Amino acid sequence: MPKNSSLPPFNPQRVYIEEGVQDLPFTQEVLSRLKPHETEIIKHSREIRVPAEMSWGKKGLLLARFKPDETLKEFEAMSQSLARSVYSLNVISNCHLECTYCILQSYLENNPIITFYVNREEIIKKLADQLDRIPRGSVVGTGQLADSLALEGLTQWNQHLIPFFAEQDRVFLELKTKSADVEPLLDLKHKGQTVVSWSMSTEKVQEEEEYKTASIPERIEAMTRCQKAGYPVGIHFDPIIHHVGWEKNYRRLVEQIFHAVDAENVAWISIGGLRFPTRQVKAMRDRFPKNRKIFTNLVSTNKRFMYYPDRLRESLYNRLRSYLKPHFPEEKTYLSMEAELSGQADKSAS
């Protein structure tokens, strides 16, 4: 982890290495950056991909081989919302930060251990083949099953991905994060093909529900640093969380952002209300027994998701749009959850 990190270090208690990847350069790089730890070679990652407690998963690390056949997966609901094709590239799975509402608590319930896919050369080769075949203007994101930057100090994945995307002009890479550790990105050749995006909450929500993440002022500062380095940035007001004083707090958040950030260079803004699968409620209650306010006003009329009722959602969206209007063109703002609620359950984590 870099010094002066905005995030706590990730020091896994136990490292599992899938047989066959021990000698890959990426594996050796990661091991050399870790503090002393117990290591175990396992025959197949399936041995530890079982229903397990999320808190256990967040304290371990698995170095495994990614099947290159599955490199890119289309996120249909996100594609619908953004009106361009969106794909996920999951080079990391799970995250050591602790947002109480994190959707990975249910999406990764059978596979919670933090995993780095270490067959980097193979993944990048396959990616090169696939990028030629997806529509021009598509977005490939690494923030669906992990925070794109939270473990950069260990993986350095973006040191490879950003220059790789800079070599073509058809598809954008989107990094989605709640970290502020952008230093390693600033001198990379990116040619505007990487959008660095932040998930933004009010300071109250960050303090009460997004443990271990960078503070809101730190995220805004990181955004300005990336803009100065020429990166387009993205902003995700997602999830918007209803709380006492939400109108004042979201207004202030928008003002803080646009006081510092150049709106001209913001690629897109998304807005989405808090939601998570109904089956996740138990994990949230067990893991964060004191955080009961998060459930206020949520309903589950479709039985699959907990979400705010239509009128409250509409009010949250309209209010946020009205705060954004003086600063940012409405046509570059999209709703990120409505397609999900209408039946397609994909969602970004970070």
- Give me the count of residues in the chain: 350
**250: amino acid identity, one letter:** Y
Shortest distance in whole angstroms from residue 145 CB to ligand SF4: 8
Tell me the torsion sign for CA atoms 17, 22, 25, 31.
Answer: positive
Q: Which of residues 173-192 bind ligand SF4 (CB under 6 A)?
A: 178
CA 191 to chain centre: 22
Name which of 91 and 146 has its Cβ closer to ligand SF4: 146
Cβ atoms of residues 249 and 204 within 8 Å: yes
As a whole number of angstroms, the distance between CA 317 and CA 273 comes to 8
Shortest distance in whole angstroms from residue 21 CB to ligand SF4: 24
17 near ligand SF4, rule: CB under 6 A:
no
User: In the sheet where 333-335 sits, what is the strand order?
Assistant: 72-74, 86-89, 139-141, 172-177, 194-199, 233-240, 266-273, 333-335
The one among 185, 266, 271, 349 contacting ligand SF4 by CB under 6 A: 349
Cα-trace Rg, the chain: 19
Q: Are strands 114-117 and 60-64 parallel, antiparallel or unpaired?
A: parallel
Shortest distance in whole angstroms from residue 20 CB to ligand SF4: 28
Place of tokens 């380095």: 229
x/- mask, ligand SF4, residues 89-128, rule CB under 6 A, reads ------x-xxx--x-x------------------------
**2: amino acid identity, one letter:** P
Q: Which of residues 197-216 bind ligand SF4 (CB under 6 A)?
A: 213
Name which of 145 and 320 has its Cβ closer to ligand SF4: 145
Shortest distance in whole angstroms from residue 54 CB to ligand SF4: 10
x/- mask, ligand SF4, residues 44-83, rule CB under 6 A, reads ----------------------------------------
**Total residues interacting with ligand SF4, rule: CB under 6 A:** 12
Name which of 54 and 173 has its Cβ closer to ligand SF4: 54
Q: Which of residues 126-165 bind ligand SF4 (CB under 6 A)?
A: 146-147
| Backbone angles phi and psi of 163, in degrees to 5 | -60, -30
User: What Cα–Cα distance (Å) separates residue 238 from each residue in 5, 134, 160, 209?
Assistant: 24, 26, 28, 13
Contact residues toward ligand SF4 (CB under 6 A) are 95, 97-99, 102, 104, 146-147, 178, 213, 349-350
